[in-house]
Structure 1
């Protein structure tokens, strides 16, 4: 039975780095996948018209490759979210959640190095209360190369995976899609490199007993069927 899945990105490429293989699996299963992109780039931030246009083209290409049902852009300026935006952000995300009624939500790690990620995590979690959003069945955090591993090395800020998805059949396509974001990729030892993406998938796969995997941390899981 198909379900509706919401994948939340602070910035385009987060979703591919953290959950690209899993998204492809959802698509193959016939699930309806909604892509929520919270931030965007603008001229007043120093981005050229050409770069802004290229970014929108990248988003369209990626959305087509993943077969997203819809792409929602909230258009908050990138790299500038703060706690002062939290109230408005919660309201905007809540509208999206109520409109699409996802059973599953994937969001970024709560303690990533990028402040945009941390603010958005708090906002997303405010939109998962069971008495307001009873259709939600699962909320998971994904790890994002170049952000999750650079969070402060403190016990309370560790990403602690407790869910693994076999992406052995999807890894190469995930890397192809990530390469659409050409300006975000680099050569090893740059974190966002093909080699590092494959290395992390290999490590997670070894933990799960498969060739390649993506790891998640389950934040909420409501299961009412007979176990």
Structure 2
């Protein structure tokens, strides 16, 4: 499963703390997306995560958990993506929470299913930036420098540029992409329809579509064929 992330072009991100009815969830899971990622910045609990996992598991789509809180880690996912916020001002969000989890639960952790993810948060107004105390006002060269550290020093398989709710500076995204060697660049933020999906996909390796699922499901579903022509 770890090897499969290298071929992912499209991921839907579903928030356990937001409502997505059964018909909508079925459409998402059968859309042809490469994976469904479960995660959110707030309101994520064990109960709502396990409920969402049980619903997604009715389908064959790969399902991964982006771990944002230790209390909401649920067994049964294909992979567990572990964010390390590279531009945080507080070490807890880079390694502190991770070390405490290992100290307390190392014997329970399925290490072979974990994928570390270098998170660079670039929307200063989003919840993730506030919680993680991220320095989100990065220039193009500063963002690329963080990405290079993730790629060439830390050897992280994923670098994730998070604009969370708004379409980001795609020239900056492209510059970060060019700076990477082995890491795969994920991008999330403001992808609402096929047009914005194509623009974002041209600047990165993998697009992540989340908020659009809750504002306009039909347009959100159109993002799959926009970046995976075989699904058209």
**Shared fold (TM-score, shorter chain, > 0.5):** no
TM normalised by structure 2 equals 0.36
TM normalised by structure 1 equals 0.36
